[in-house]
Amino acid sequence: MKDIVVSGIRSTGNLHLGNYYGALCNFVKMQEESNCYFFIADLHALTTHPDPAMLHENVKNILAEYLAAGLDPEKSTIFIQSDVPEISQLYLLMNMHVGIGELMRTASFKDKARKQLHLDTHANESEDAIEKEIISDTSKNRVNAGLLTYPTLMAADILIHKATKVPVGKDQEQHLEMTRRFARRFNSVYGVELFPEPTSYNFGQASIKVPGLDGSGKMGKSEGNCIYLCDEEKVLRKKVMRAVTDEGPQVPNSPKSEPLENLFTLLKIVSTPDVVSYFEEQYNNCSIRYGDLKKQLAEDILKTTTPIRERILDIRSNDEYLRRVVAQGAERARESAARTLAEVRKVMGFKAF
Helices 319-348 and 85-95 meet at what angle, rounded to 10?
Answer: 30
Residues 6+ apart with CB under 8 A from 345: 93
Q: Rounded to whole angstroms, how far apart are CA atoms 69 and 342?
A: 35
* Chain-centre distance for alpha carbon 5: 15
**C-alpha torsion sign, points 88, 183, 161, 198:** positive
* Packed helices 258-270 and 273-284: angle between N→C axes, nearest 10 degrees: 160
Active site residue 294: no
Phi, psi of 200 (to 5 degrees): -70, 140
Q: Which of 242, 245, 241 is nearest to 258 (CA)?
A: 245
- List 209, 218, 256, 268, catalytic entry: 218
CA–CA dist 268, 73 (Å, integer): 31
Which residue among 110, 221, 256, 268 is the active-site one? 221
Does residue 218 have an active-site annotation?
yes
Residue 120 burial (C-beta neighbours within 10 Å; 0-12, 13-18, 19+) = exposed
DSSP-derived letter for residue 162 is T
The verdict on whether 115 is a catalytic residue reads: no
3-state helix, strand, coil in the chain (%, to 5): 60, 5, 35
Euclidean distance between CA atoms 91 and 89, whole angstroms = 5
Q: What span, in angstroms and rounded, lies between the C-alpha atoms of 154 and 150?
A: 6
- Chain-centre distance for alpha carbon 309: 20
Give the three-class secondary structure for 235. helix
Q: Which residues belong to the active site?
A: 112, 218, 221
